[in-house]
Amino acid sequence: MGDLVTISSNLLYAAFIIYLVATFFFGATVGTKKQDGKSKAGTIGITLTIIGFLTQVGYFITRWIASQHAPVSNLFEFTTFFGMMMVFAFIIIYFIYRLNVIGLFTLPVALLIIAYASMFPREISPLVPSLKSHWLYIHVTTAAIGEAILAVSFAAGLIFLIRQIDQTKKSKHTFWLEFVIYAIFSTLGFVLITTAFGAMDYETKFEAPLDGQVVTMDYHLPAIAGPHDGESVSESTIGPLFETPEWMRGQEASSKFNTLLWSLLTGLVIYGIVRLILRKRVAAAIQPKLQKVSPDLIDEVSYRAVSIGFPVFTLGALIFAMIWAQEAWNRFWGWDPKEVWALITWLFYAYFLHLRLSRGWHGTKSAWLAVGGFAIIMFNLIAVNLVIAGLHSYA
C-alpha cells in the first residue's frame, strides 16, 4: 500500500508539472496569427495537456487501489479530482472550438486548484459508515464533473471581459475585473505562504476559553489575529496584532481567519509587485494580446460550457445527492449548509440560462454571470467545507 501511495503522489506531481509546461506553450500562441488548433505551439500544448491528464488519471487509479474506495472522500482527494475534471472539460471544449487561449486561462486555474488541494492532509483514512455507499462514487464525482465544466465558462468569461472592457478609463467594470484577478493572486498567495511556513514546520500555540473550558489552538502561520481572550503558550510567538472577533466560534476559527488574512495580504503583495512591473492594470496589460481573439466565439464557449455543465451538476449535486440523503439519513433534504449552497449554485446557473435564452443577455452581462457563478462554486468549495460546520464538512 505504501508503494502505491508514493507512486500516486509522484504521478500527481508529474501531472502538475506537465500542466504547467503546457500552459507556457498555450501562452506562446497568444498574439500570434495562428491562435487555433493549427498553431504548432498549441498542438504541443494540447498534447502535453492530454499526457498530463492521463498521468493524473494514473494518480486517481493508484490511490483508489491503495485506499480501496473512490478517492473523493476528503478535501485533498475531492479538490484534486475537481482539478482533473476541469482539465478534462477543457480538453473536450478544445476539440470542439480549437481555441488555444482557453488553455492559457483554464490550466492555471486547474493548477491553482490542485496546488490548493496539496495544502490539506493527504493521508488515506478508512471511510466513515455514512460514506460506505456506491453513491459516494456516483454523487460526488458527477457533481465535481458538473462544477468542472462550469469552471470552463469562468475562464471563457474572464477572457471575454479582459478582451472587451474599455481599459482606457476607470469604471466599475475595470475595478471588479481587477478584483477578480486579485482574488486569483490571493489563492496563489495562500499556496505560497502555507508552503513556505509548512517547510519551516512553523507552529505556535494559544490557549483560549471556548464553551466554558480552556482549549489549545494551533497556528501554522504567525498570528496576525489571535484567539479572542487567548494567551500564547509558545516561547517565540510573533504577534498577534489583534484578536479574532468574538462571534467567530470554534476551536479552529481563529486559525482559519488568520490564514485568510495571510492569503489576502500575500495576494496583495503579489498583485502590487505585478502592477509595479507592468505599470498599469493587469487586465490592461493582457488586453492587447487578446485582440485577435473572437469575442463572439469566446461568448459562445462560455454559454456552451454552462449549457453542458448545468444538467450534469443538476444530476450529481441535487438528484443523486437527494437519493443518497434518503438512503443515509432517511430524508431527501435537510437544509444542511452544503445542501443549501448546492441549491444556491443551481438556482444561479438556472437564472443564468434564463437570462441568456429569454432576455438575450449576451456578451459582457453573460461573462460577468459566468465569473459570478464560479465565485459561488469556490465559496462552496472553500468556505462551506472549511468554515461552516455541517454533515458534509470535509474538514
The 3-state DSSP class for residue 80 equals: helix
318 versus 33: the higher-pLDDT residue is 318
CA 245 from centre of chain: 27
pTM of the model: 0.87
* Cα-Cα end-to-end distance for the chain: 24
- Spatial neighbors of 244 by CB under 8 A, at least 6 apart, are 225, 226, 227, 228, 253, 254, 257, 258
Q: Is 333 exposed, middle or buried (0-12, 13-18, 19+ CB in 10 A)?
A: middle
Q: What is the mean pLDDT of the chain?
A: 85
Residue 270 burial class via C-beta count within 10 angstroms: exposed 0-12, middle 13-18, buried 19 and up? middle
The residues spanned by each domain of the chain are 1-127, 137-167+281-395, 172-279
Residue 385 has what pLDDT?
Answer: 61
R_g over Cα of the chain = 22
What average pLDDT does range 80-84 have in this prediction? Answer: 93
pLDDT of residue 223: 86
User: Residue 140 has which C-alpha cell?
Assistant: 460526488
Q: How far apart are CA 371 and CA 23, in angstroms?
A: 21
Cell numbers found for residue 226: 489571535
Q: What does the alpha-carbon distance between residue 145 and residue 227 come to, in Å, rounded to a whole number?
A: 38
Low-confidence winner among 2-6, 97-101, 318-322 (lowest mean pLDDT): 2-6
What's the rounded mean pLDDT across residues 63-90?
A: 88
Find out whether 139 and 147 touch, Cβ atoms under 8 Å. no
pLDDT at 303: 93
101-115, 278-292, 378-392: segment of lowest average pLDDT: 378-392
Does residue 1 carry a pLDDT above 80? no
Determine the pLDDT at residue 131.
65
Rounded average pLDDT over 86-105? 92
Q: What is the DSSP string of 140-156?
A: IHHHHHHHHHHHHHHHH
**φ, ψ dihedrals at 177, nearest 5°:** -65, -40
- 299 band by pLDDT with thresholds 50, 70 and 90: very high
Residue 395 has what pLDDT? 44
- Check residue 125 and give its pLDDT: 73
Q: Indicate whether 130 pLDDT > 70.
A: no
Q: What pLDDT does residue 195 have?
A: 84
pLDDT, position 311: 94
